[in-house]
Structure 1
Amino acid sequence: MNTGAAAIYLAQVRSELSDLPPGELEDVLQDVGGHLSEVSAEFGTEPTIGQLQDRLGTPRQYAEELRTAAGYPPRTGPVGQSHKERLDAGWNALRWGLIAATVGPFFIAVAIFAWSRRETSFFGLLGFGILFAAAFFGVVALRGNDPKVVLDTPQGTRGATTVRGWIDQIPPNIRHELRTIGQPIWWVARGMIGAGGFFALFGAPAVTVVGAFAGAAVSIWMGRRTQQDGRWLWYVVPLNVVAAIAVPAFLAAAYMGTSFGFLNNYQPRHGGSAYSPPDNGLRLNGSPVTNVYPFDAQGKQVDVRLYDQDGNPIDLERQDCAETYQPGQHGTTSNQFPQAVIVPDENGVVTNARNCKDTTKAPFAPPTASPTPTHTPTPKPTVKPTR
């Protein structure tokens, strides 16, 4: 059984021979796998990609030797396509893939880190639009070639060599765990964070939760699909980049208790008022108190100033005409109650400062006056004078 570098080498040989008939390809690969197992055993420990290439040549060279020995024709692209056209197709596909994996995730990252701003949805949609459009054009640029054609380009070869070098630094047992356990977990996390983040851009908590679970299912399907059709890499790799940005950001926000504003910063899509609890002010049973209307025992409204047990004024933000049209000039808060509020006109709005009027009258009927308690005087004891 080939693992680690041998498995990577075998997969690359499979890519080079992918134009062979399926039955013949499997027969050839079975022989190659046996040969790789024998060569790997000679090293005593699991060899690296570099060691295998020093011994057997590059996967392409190894595949060409197999073609020559078995009498198969040289690898070609679609009918009538030259080698240069094949390389051009590989470079164009790689370029679109790089755009999908960088430009799209960049705008999505901007949307993630500017979650509370109004332009969040715009940047998010722009990022996803660029990502999927570039991925689509990358697949089209292949022109019918095998997706591994990008590795034939100088840029693709250098990138693949760098990635293989990083992989070789990981111990074999950890690589095995990452493939068998880490990969499915990543698929689920990628789908939930990606889809959940997309729907959260529109401020719908319930839809966000449902979309996250649906995204996990789609992500697993895409992961399986990618193993069968390499063209899906143009979509999966950019989504992996997005998830790599979103997952740490989501965990950091959850740790700090902000939850990206999924619930606290909910903004209705079709008008209406958005509820955003104030950081300061009074609350009653969890709801904000914006004004206080004091009444005396006889049910008469009175003016008071409120202080807490330490003598600190209990201030609320002023809501009168002066603060609305000349903010900050008369003090933004006051502890005098009831506070003056703006009287709306017959249309429920105030259009300018000249028409603005204040009122301190309670917007509800005065409470019923409490009956005045009567007390029967206690008779004083009579003291008789003594002689």
Structure 2
Amino acid sequence: MSEQSDIAQYAAQVGAALSDLPEQVRNDLLEDLPAHLAEVAAELRAEGAGATLADRLGPPSAYAAELRATLGHTGGPSRTAALVGRAVGRVQQRWRGVDRGLGPVIGYERLGDFLALLRPAWWVVRGWLAAMLVAQLWRDGDGPGLLPRLEGSTLLGLFLTAGAVIGSIWFGRRTLARPPARRSARLALGGATAVLAVFGLVLVVEADDRAARGYWETAGGYVVNPYDQVSDVFVLGADGQVIPGARIVDQTGNPVLIGWCAQSNHNAFDANWEWRIVYPACPDVTPPQLPWAPASPAPLPWASPSPGGVIPSPSADPATASPSAAAPSAKPSLTPSAQVSPGS
């Protein structure tokens, strides 16, 4: 039996199993069926194992039962769902034209034949992106890095990545062997794939921005950022002790991020993430041992004494003496002074 006749026979049997439904409802359910069957048949042909549509999708009666279950109510699919289905069908039709047109350019009958060879690599990348997304939602992930971090631990991130990659490969092989028959399941899978793809693009952009921030532009070219090797910052108070939970702002009141730990906590899904960074930003960090830092709260060695803490001596400052002692009185005396002449 040829491929086209197999598709037509399978679609006819599915339609016969749905013959009890109203004509409009049945047409909406079967509208995208030929295109979907053609895609599955093309995958089977590329695999070359000789499998049939029934082997991959199950018997037509079971496939029809799954389509019937997508109704959810006796009134059939809504008008919005029907419009979305038609739009998806038109996009798929255009993609098939592009698929056949670009295939010979790269030496394949269809572009999909080449993309099918990259499917295992995509499974690995999908698992890594899923692990990175989990770490970002945990608000402890290193967006621009190669591995996610959980609770500040790279080892936990490595285990998370390994589990996500293994799960992605298992899920990919499972869906390849038996693609979801329900349209809602296919749309959900495609939507999740699109979310991961967009998230991966965001990671690439953030990594590029972080690399660009490692250099400062000057009139003579580029110089290395002097703070590029700083991992964390400790804010000290007047007593020389570390102030936990401190924030640093610039002259305009915007938060200043210094150190790897502060910058690696970038969360593209949180608009106020910069204000959530407090210093020290690295988890479980130990303050450095400073030779001039006192063990107990005390003024720093170079701290100048407070102006209010010094009481001036009355005799030390002539400016503080009584005005009568510093200058003669301008008011004439009422008692005349006696003058003694030597000759009297």
> TM > 0.5 between the two?
no
TM-score range normalised by the length of the shorter chain: 0.3 to 0.5
TM-score (normalised: structure 1)? 0.35
